[in-house]
Amino acid sequence: MHRTGLVEFETAIAVAKHRNFRAAADELGMSSTAVSSLVRNLEARIGVLLFNRTTRSVSLTAAGEKFLNRVSSSVADISEAIEIAKGEAGKPTGILRINTSVTAGHEILNELIAIYLQRHTSMSVELITDSRLVDIVLQGCDAGIRTMKSVPGDMVAIPLGFSLDFSVVGSPDYFRKFPKPESPEDLLRHRCIRSRWPGGGIYQWEFECDGKSIQIDVPGSMILDEQSMILKAARAGLGLAYLADSLTREAVTVGELQYVLPEWRPTPEPLALYYPRHRHTPAALRAFVEIVRQQKRNAVNQGP
């Protein structure tokens, strides 16, 4: 849910104030799609049409005006009471919900989540992993973590200070049967574990070296759509895999996997924490943002 648990009411009140979905979205730090969906959800739940919509205007229905006039003051009182209860300087409590990709989730577990839970022992963290980029407001999340280029433009974005690195890996068992590829083109003669995008397409492996970028539609008799299964198949010697280092780092360290074509790694993709432009950021999220900024400062002070 929204920071106050009253997201649908707050959204409808903002639309009524501006008589415009786009302006309400700007105020709340949401997308216009999210605002429309939340208003429709509220109308469906109470069984009342709150707004008349045309391509040029938005106006309150008679029933909508009466309803929002009655609930507006109560919503404001509840929101204020919750903010007071939390307190600007109070200890964060409750659950911090973060939407992230699987690969980014692995990257932040030790870097950020563990530190957050050690520092704020009354907090719980729920990581919701999704390979698709979703609307974090509609999904009931406080924040999201994605590559910087994927962050919606209407969100506050804070770089995390580290990136997603991708590489090709294979097991020692696989390389006892097949030679290591020396160029991306050599992959066309290998068994590769292919991955499917959430939208249905097959992912083409990406490579960069000396300013040259190429994509390879690798061959393979296995197609998977879940990263941990791809990792398991690669460790079992079923083929070469293209995965984030956050997933493969441990297996490489213990010798279960080996990096391939390290000079052809694509440019790392910087990760960012992002969240809606609310006027009052919840204490739990503020505390997480502070840890992100502190970790970045520490990294800068330590240097290379």
pTM listed for this prediction: 0.65
CB 8 within 8 A of CB 24: no
The CATH architecture to which 94-157+269-302 belongs is 3-Layer(aba) Sandwich (3.40)
pLDDT band at 2 (very low <50, low <70, confident <90, very high): very low
For CATH 1.10.10.10, the residue range(s) in the chain are: 7-86
What fold characterizes domain 166-264?
Answer: D-Maltodextrin-Binding Protein; domain 2 (3.40.190)
Nearest CA-CA partner of 276 in 54, 26, 73: 26
Longest dimension (CA), the chain: 76
Single-letter residue type at 261: L
Q: Rounded CA gap, 24 and 154, in Å?
A: 12
- Angle of helix 7-18 relative to helix 62-86, nearest 10 degrees? 120
Phi, psi of 187 (to 5 degrees): -65, -25
Q: Rounded CA gap, 223 and 202, in Å?
A: 8
What does pLDDT average to over the chain? Answer: 88
Nearest CA-CA partner of 93 in 297, 303, 286: 286
For CATH 3.40.190.10, the residue range(s) in the chain are: 94-157+269-302
Higher pLDDT, 270 or 76: 270
- Backbone Cα Rg of the chain: 24
pLDDT band at 134 (very low <50, low <70, confident <90, very high): confident
Answer CATH for 7-86 from 3.40.640.10, 1.10.10.10, 3.50.40.10, 3.40.50.1100: 1.10.10.10
